[in-house]
Each structure stands twice: as C-alpha cells, then as structure tokens.
Amino acid sequence: MASAVDDADDAGDALDTEGRQLLYDLVSIPSPSGEEAEAAERLAAFFAEHDREVFVDEVGNVRAPADDSVLLTSHVDTVPGDIPVRVEHDAGDEYSPDGDAVLWGRGSVDATGPLAAMAVAAVETGVSFAGVVGEETDSRGARFLVEDREAPDAVVNGEPSGWDGVTLGYRGFLAGTYVATSESGHTSRPDPNAVEHAMNWWRRVEDSFETEDYEPVFEGVTTKPVRFDGGLSADGLSMEATMDVQFRVPPEMEAADVRERADAELDAGTVHWEEPIPPVMTSPRSEVATAFRGAIRRAGGDPRLLRKTGTADVNLFAAAWDAPMATYGPGDSDLDHAPNERLPLAEFDRAVDVLCAVSERLSDPA
C-alpha cells in the first residue's frame, strides 16, 4: 500500500540530501518548452550557493563553466502535463521493486532527474555543466551552445537510461510540412482534390519506408504524420491541405536520403523541410563509455549498452564536436512523457554516484 507525502516540508527523510531537494524543487516548477526561466533560476542558484561561476545565456541556458575535461549537460524543459508532485513511500512495483521513496511529477524522468543528478555531480567534482532549453521542441539551447563555446574534451548528455544503462545511439530527425491546393468543385467530380493529394502522397511515403517485421525499429525509418488541416479555403475558391510530418532516421542513412525519397513520391503539392538533426552512434570503446562501464560495475550494477529510437541533443553535440560522448541518467524511459512519470529516489542517488565516478575518471584518466 503506497503512502503519499505532498508537501516538501513534510516529506521527512525522503528529501534528506541536497540533491534530492534540488530534484524536488525543479520538478515542482513547471518548465514546458518556452517557459524554463523559473527552473533555470533555481538551477543557477544551486551553483551560486556552491561558489561556482554560473550564468544564464541569451537563449536561456544555465551554464557553469569549469573543468572542461568533461561537460555534463541535460535539458531544463519538459513536455506539458500536470502530474501532482508528491513523494510516495511505495510497497514496490516494477519501477521501484525495493519499495523506495518515489518522486512523482512531470520531468522527474525526462529529463529533470538526469539534469539534477548532473548538477550535483558537477558541483562535487568541479567539471563543466550546461542546462539547455528547448530540447522537446527545436533544440535551440543545444544549437546555441555548440555555436557559442569550444568543444569540451568529453560530453555526457543527460537523458533517462536507468542508473545501470548507457545510451550510445539515437536516430536522427527530419520534419517537414506538406502543402497542396486544388480548384474547388463539386464532390461528385472524380478528380483528386488537395486533401486526397496529401493522403495519397503520405500513403506512398509510408509504403516506401515500410520494413519487415523482423527488422529492429532502430535500424529503420519511422514515418509519422503529426498534424493535418484541410478543406475549402476561406474564399471558397480552392481546396487546401497542410500536413506536418516527421521521420526518424537510422545511423545507416542520412536525412538527405530520406528527404529525397519522400520528395520522389510527390505528384502534387510541395514539402517545406526543416533543418534536420543527424543520427548518432558512438563507440562502446570510447573513453566515456569505458568510464561508465567501470563506474556501474563498481556500484554493483551490470552495465547495459542502449540504442534509442528517438532523438536527443547529443545528436547535435556529436555533429558539432569531435569528442567522445554518451548519454546517461536515472529513470526508466518507458515513463517519458507519460501520465505516471516517476523516479525512485534511490536510483537518483545511485546515478549521482556513477556520474561523480565518471567525471573523476575523465578529469584524471591516470
């Protein structure tokens, strides 16, 4: 039987470390993309309290430059969603089998948990830190960061992998907007209108990228329409159709290849493409991956090397910086964006310990 504690003042032993309190505070501050300022202020205050240089840059990133042998970085923003913030002392479930205290709230997994763990580790080890904005939308924080600073010697990007998991690969991302128009006419006419043109194009695109059931999702292109608007124009003289579409691109392909194949299926209308995010697959033998495997083993875990079907800011870092990197953070990614998003606090503590060990190893490889 779970018992919940809704107020931080009454959470008792559950918030018994500075890191846990920082995590609770950040999860308690709503920070959907575009509204990160208050959370960024709390994060910056944490570094200032520890006499670390810290500033919020012109796009809203929280930056605490220091020992650049490693940069710990995660995103401040979350997706929208109101999940009452509370600590539950659970009798145990699949996400907290030992009955640990569990923090519920939007962002506890993606990615405020990794963000807070990295902030604590950066303070304890003296390495560089950046909390970036906009990851859930346009990655404006990461895009600005790679333009505004030199490459660090190594990068650890913060996303949920579980405390004993390290993510080495992400698919790339390509988004576009299909637009078509046609003359208005009676619906009894057989000629296809703009709405049909859009539907037919997307059907051909899906068929073009269809994979066999036995092929891993990570190794294929995922096609997804995310918004559609169509019908008679305001002046009644034409039919219009607009469709926003997204593609996930495996490391074996480039976004340009996907775009070319999608454009080849056009017989009406045009597609306005956005700047793509390239896929990434890093080496399991890099200095960063090796440091994580050793730290996880020393903490009593069996390291898991992961590939994710989505996309993260590490894709942009890998494209811009010639440095070893990996992605890591507490939390089960099955709970990303979910209405039951929650993080066992004991897992958060273990992730902090692993991040500290990795940072120390990378800053003093001897």
Coil, strand or helix at 182:
strand
Decide if 77 is catalytic: yes
Residue 337 is labelled as binding a ligand: yes
Give the phi and the psi of residue 322 in degrees, each rounded to 5: -90, 80
The residue from 77, 88, 313, 360 that is catalytic is: 77
Residue 124 is labelled as binding a ligand: no
Residue 89 is labelled as binding a ligand: no
Residue 50 is labelled as binding a ligand: no
Token pair recorded at residue 323: 């440095």
Residue 197 is labelled as binding a ligand: no
DSSP string, 98-151: T--EEEESTTTTTTHHHHHHHHHHHHHHTEEEEEES-TTTT-HHHHHHHHHSPP
Q: Which residues contact 140 (CB under 8 A, 6 or more apart)?
A: 59, 133, 134
Cis amide linkage into residue 111, ω under 30° from 0: yes
The residue from 88, 100, 135, 332 that is catalytic is: 135
Token pair recorded at residue 312: 């993260």
**Of 14, 6, 11, 28, nearest in space to 99 by CA:** 14
Pairing of strands 165-170, 127-132: unpaired
Evaluate whether 290 touches 310 at the Cβ level (below 8 Å).
no
**Of 26, 41, 45, nearest in space to 112 by CA:** 26
Q: Which residues contact 75 (CB under 8 A, 6 or more apart)?
A: 111, 115, 131, 132, 133, 134, 135, 136, 141, 142, 158, 313
**CA–CA dist 123, 75 (Å, integer):** 17
**CA–CA dist 269, 78 (Å, integer):** 34
Evaluate whether 194 touches 230 at the Cβ level (below 8 Å).
yes
**CA–CA dist 112, 25 (Å, integer):** 10
Query: What residue numbers does the annotated binding site cover?
Result: 75, 110, 136, 159, 337
Binding residues for Zn(2+): 75, 110, 136, 159, 337
Residues with catalytic function:
77, 135
